[in-house]
Structure 1
Amino acid sequence: MKLTKSALLYFILSVAILACKKDEYTSRDISGLKPTPVTPEPPDPTLVVFDNAESADGWDAAGGAVLNDDKKQGDHSVKATIAGGDALRMQKALATSINPNITKENGQLIFWLYVEDASRVKLSDGQIEITSSGQPDQQEYNWPTSSLGTLQTGWNKIQLDLKDAGESGGGADLGAINFFRIYMNTTDAASATAPFTMAIDAVGFVQIGGSGGGPVDTGIWESCDNLDGWDSPGNMGDYIETAGKKEGTGFIKGKIPIGSNEMRFAKLNATSFDSKVTKENGQLTFWFYVEHPELFSEIQVQISSTDNIDSYRYGWNLMDEPATGVKLNTGWNEIKLDLTRAYDSDGGADLSALRFFRIFGFTNDNATAEIPLAIDGIKFLKKPAPAPSLWESCDNLDGWDIPGNMAAFIETAGKKEGSGFIKGKIPVGDDYMRFAKQYASTFDTKVTKDNGQLAFWFYVEQPELFNEIQVQVSSTDNIDSYRYGWNLMDEPATGVKLKTGWNEIKLDLTRSYDSDGGADLSAVKYFRIFGITKDKVTAEIPVGIDGIKFQQK
């Protein structure tokens, strides 16, 4: 039978389609993975943007500033590439100043910084600057680039506290910021003719205690860019893969072979590493790739400050979701392990001197097909402190016990928090002031003695006239029992130095005196501040109080 042209074409296409049709199997090749979708951090309600780096307009940089598609937020970042030499610089002056709504005590400068090769950056000479003068060195706050710690190749999240900043030309007016600059050098070992790229994204300001876009990266512990010093079973066939890397230039890739049931990535470092976190505020984080995690009976992650991983360690079992808060999926997993949820040996690791990392696991049965595994970017994060817990707004006089001759009232002009503050005075011929309040219900401060501060605003004129100013909190109806207290006139004990005007008081609970072992911080109900002058005053002394809260240090 003779086929027509159209029938012949149909026949050929049908054969081709059938030949190409294959059974579908889950891919075990992780070298070309699409990036795991990342859920963005919720925006910080205190964030004020200086520049979102969506345009190169106004940016001045060594090598010239251009838009860059490699970004951390939005659609673009701004990058600069020098053709040679060692000077790296990026800066921008705003035509219109911004008000970040922060103080030097509670503010942070935040931005993303990209460096092409962290090993070629010298941080000892550079500086990060903000000014209200539209130019460097006048009305300026600054930080040395050495304060950035250890940069990693690629993007780095930078968060700089204003309270740690130096000053030039009188310090910046934080209500009118209009200039940003970062400059630093490449190392002497870098080629004088080799190009180098840096980039900036999402420059802004937040209040400390806000999210700031997420936890603070305290520095990379292990890049996983090479196999030096790593210990794994020989049958895992470890090697460095670059395609699909999550951090740096590559990652460590291996497998559990058919017939085996064990995996391990372990490394003992010759020198110790300071994580710059505490057990209370720290997270161990890294990227971990695994297929079919449901086949595993356990996957243990352990860190130690000795050369014996079984002593002075913290550990987590990734298969114990209720204990760790981690649920493994097939593919890349961004692991974040709270140190407060770790088990420990010998009281846990010295987090300022870590030496040993290990992750190992066992499957329920010997593998009948290879199980790919990988690890990348081991580091620590410092969780931002939670927002302060406001105990008393001081917006009204309800429940307050104040001597009648202090003539207390609510003032709105000059308030520090809420809608007003309590204002009074020590009258002529007297020597005593008091603001006290006993509450009908208890208040949970959400802090501990070790991590907590009592904070409030206190206005006083001529504090040098006082013999004592006592601040006390109690968890009973009797302010003299189960209490913590401080004498604001004892600067060595409290760290507080009063000045005429508003004072932002921050009192560490660890520096307090106590009665009956101190207050129950989950159930405080009494606050008192009182003071006695050295002599009867000959002129009124105005005093005021606002915004009483508890916060983590």
Structure 2
Amino acid sequence: MKLVKIMMACFIFTLALTFASCKKEEYSSRDTSGIVPEPVIPEPVDPTLVLLDNADKLDEWEVSGGTGVIETVTKKEGEGAVGGKFKVGDDYLHFIKRLSTPVNSKLTADKAQLSFWLYVEKPLSIKEGQIEITSSGQSDQQEFHWDVPGLGLKPGWNEVKLKISNATADGGGADLSTIKWFRMYIITTAKATEENKVIIDYVRLSEAPPEGPSLYLDNCDNLTGWEVSGGTGVIDVTKKKEGTGSIFGKTHPDAGYLHFKKKFNTPVDTKLTKLTGQLSFWLYISKAATLNGQIEISSSGDADQQEYNWDPVSIKNLKPGAWNEVKLNIRDAAITNGPVNLAAINYFRMFLQTGEDGIDIGIDGIKFNGIPLPDAVFLDNADLKDGWQTVGEPVIEATNPKPKEGAGFLKNTIKKGDDFMQFIKDTTVPVNSGVTEANGQFKFWWYISDVSALKADGSIEITSSGKSDEKESAWDITPLLPSLKNGWNEITLDLDKSNKSGDGGADYKAINHFRIFFFTKDKTHEDVLTGIDDLKFVMKP
């Protein structure tokens, strides 16, 4: 009997093992293939990213008006975000982060970028404001800052990305190895009539994204084809920035003069445009000196024809006894006897006057880089009626029809029996368009429900006088009519094709007035719905 019991126990144990070995593994998916799913691999973290603050706690934060809270629902990242608000009657809000332990970004100013997420509950009409980082622990000392107006903030989350190279430097600029302070403040054009939340999240520094592909014009590893004035040109194989050598020359008695120039037998196709192109090279100067002269590229094989040029005085913060990377945006260049063919660059020259004999100057790694298109500068996003005038009371429309951009647009109707409409915007703080007459355009969206009703009359105006007809650049509406359609129309106006007032036209660094006025052919038409949205300045493509 004992033997039977033992045999039965062994049988049951063997049977259990068999069932266990046949049991399928269970996975959360409904996949029945029997293949184990690959693990989810998280997105790689930017190795250059250095956190200033994740905004998960209020520690070391100051929000004006005692409105600071941690938002655990409206957040972009982590466990929370730092929130504040404009209370009824407020026109000012700030967020300050004082870092008790300074942050070393391990980045240089030419490559670094400040980024954070910014939430705006309702449209803001911003009069002025700044975003600041400092290494002094306070504002206005050892500071980099950027202006808030012109960022084009929209209701909801906005990812703000600010290159240090585009910042204004106060007190010499911040030391990026010891950042102690972050501040953002906003002043609105009018006091709030209802509460408006503003929230900050995930404040960090990182290396800015690559600007685009690079193409060498010359690597400066040998003297072939080069002319260095005074017969001073040599290849230095030890004092070089890249490659196997660099070209050095020495200033000579004629005003401390020196030039480097080369004509290229095979033209270089940069595959870039004026807006997206940049000339860069490494420059060495043995001692501190003021550089006068010119830096030039051309497609004519010579100077002063089909030429882009830059003044070396614009090169800031040159360190003596060291290599300095010089970056010259083609869109910032002057043009001599253009146009210049960027698909056939065949000449480079840099001539310098230092005022002193015997200064060693070196050049290395001359190349073209691709850079991003410049950001638009907003005159107004038309999300609020602040500062607007029209026939009757200004109205912001959010749904019917939908705005072309943002949370709303300025709407009005030429009613049956009327024949005139205008929209006027006055800004309390003049807007620097960031463009010139030669390279700039003014753009906006114009809504017309019935184009056939419009008369060939009217004008679009921008001024820097705060009113029409003085310091004004304007465009007639008549030439636009054939291309207009019912509904939204994007209007693009070249600044260099505007009609100027007798005092020279608008100062594009200080625009403070916009007006568009237009007419219907008669007063017997049905109601014509019109609107304006998204007014901004851009560079020509």
With the shorter chain as reference, the TM-score category is 0.3 to 0.5
Of structures 1 and 2, the larger Rg is shown by 2
Give the TM-score taking structure 1 as reference length: 0.47
